[in-house]
């Protein structure tokens, strides 16, 4: 693929990821978060599963269990925590906190998988966490919304490691479809247990749902997997730092959220941290390298 076309598609994809935050917050005016996200991903996963009907599906109980676990982390965990957090924090803050997940991959990889990382990468982690504190106004406000946002970022990091470990044996589009279906089903179950699962149907709410299902789920996942297949997953994923930037910008445009100076500073520091983490290279044991070499990142 021509480099400039690859770059344009990558920027458009991260832009779509970013606008999902304010659009989702707009949707909370019509439906509770678990129900809204559950409907979104069941619809998106079902449509994508139909589209991928001729692609190879997982064979055996274990691969399906792996898809379900990924759906629990990636879709139910990330989006459940992320959108629920927006009851207390802004869409801008939620997008920045959620997409600090590449930094948490380093921490979890070192603790759980005993991966070895360079000093440059650990420096990126430290700078990234300073960026999170800056985003919050240089105050460690461990209130509900912040804790939920951090939980979403942790789920994102866990899903990334699981996909790196298991993704090589699964078709990427099939994995995307069925993990959305599993995760969406879990969110609907949570909605039935904790919310009043209903959505106010108006032209505005239907439009928001269609944007979330088609643009921010099906198109986003399909484009992201295509990009991962065209380039190196680690280098491609380093561009995720653009997502908080687009999230903040679109939240300002769509919701009128005020952009404070420390949010910009924090976002820039997180971007630098993620760049250092992904640019430093990872040294893993030979057996781990063999497992993840062909892996993909959502």
pLDDT in tens, 229-259: 676 555 666 677 778 778 888 888 888 878 7
Q: Tell me whether residue 209 is in a domain.
A: yes
Please check whether residue 130 lies inside any domain of the structure: yes
- Beta carbons of 184 and 47 less than 8 angstroms apart: no
Mean pLDDT taken over the chain: 81
Distance CA 113, CA 285 (A): 10
CB neighbourhood size of 65 (10 A): 12
In a domain? residue 51: yes
Over residues 261-274, the pLDDT tens digits come to 887 888 788 778 77
CB half-sphere exposure, 139, CA atoms < 13 A: 5
Answer yes or no: is 142 within a domain. yes
- Residue, of 28 and 5, whose pLDDT is higher: 28
Both structure tokens of 244: 């908080």
**pTM of full prediction above 0.85:** no
298 belongs to a structural domain: no
Split at pLDDT 50, 70, 90, the class of 140 is low
Q: In whole angstroms, give the CA distance from residue 22 to residue 100.
A: 18
Domain count, the chain: 1
The answer to whether residue 188 scores a pLDDT higher than 50 is yes
pLDDT for the residue numbered 281: 45
- The verdict on residue 89 lying in a domain is yes
Facing residues of 116 across strands?
283
In a domain, 297, yes or no: no
Q: What is the pLDDT of residues 271-288, one digit of tens each?
A: 787 778 766 444 444 344
Q: Please, which residues have CB within 8 angstroms of residue 203's CB and are 6 or more apart in sequence?
A: none
Listed ranges 101-115, 116-130, 203-217, 263-277; the one with the highest mean pLDDT: 203-217
| CA-CA-CA-CA dihedral for 95, 96, 100, 102, to nearest 10 | 60
Residue 211 is part of which domain span? 3-292
* pLDDT at residue number 242: 78
Residue 31 lies in a domain: yes
């Amino acid at each position: 693929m021509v480099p400039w076309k690859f770059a344009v598609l990558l920027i458009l994809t991260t832009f779509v990821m970013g606008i999902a935050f304010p659009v989702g917050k707009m949707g909370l005016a019509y439906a509770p978060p678990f129900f809204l996200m559950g409907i979104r991903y069941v619809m998106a996963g079902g449509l994508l599963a139909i589209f991928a009907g001729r692609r190879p599906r997982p064979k055996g109980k274990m691969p399906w269990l792996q898809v379900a676990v990924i759906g629990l982390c990636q879709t139910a965990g990330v989006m459940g925590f992320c959108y629920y957090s927006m009851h207390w924090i802004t869409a801008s803050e939620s997008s920045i906190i959620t997409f600090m997940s590449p930094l948490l991959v380093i921490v979890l990889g070192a603790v759980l998988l005993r991966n070895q990382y360079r000093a440059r990468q650990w420096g990126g982690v430290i700078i990234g966490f300073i960026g999170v504190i800056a985003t919050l106004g240089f105050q460690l406000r461990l209130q509900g919304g912040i804790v939920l946002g951090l939980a979403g970022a942790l789920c994102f990091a866990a899903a990334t490691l699981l996909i790196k470990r298991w993704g090589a044996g699964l078709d990427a589009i099939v994995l995307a479809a069925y993990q959305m279906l599993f995760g969406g089903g879990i969110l609907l179950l949570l909605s039935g247990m904790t919310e009043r699962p209903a959505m106010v149907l108006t032209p505005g709410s239907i439009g928001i749902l269609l944007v979330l299902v088609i643009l921010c789920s099906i198109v986003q996942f399909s484009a992201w997997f295509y990009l991962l297949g065209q380039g190196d997953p680690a280098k491609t994923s380093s561009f995720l730092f653009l997502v908080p930037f687009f999230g903040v910008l679109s939240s300002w445009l769509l919701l009128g959220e005020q952009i404070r100076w420390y949010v910009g500073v924090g976002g820039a520091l997180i971007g630098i941290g993620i760049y250092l983490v992904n640019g430093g290279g990872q040294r893993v044991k030979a057996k781990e390298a063999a497992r993840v070499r062909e892996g993909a990142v959502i």
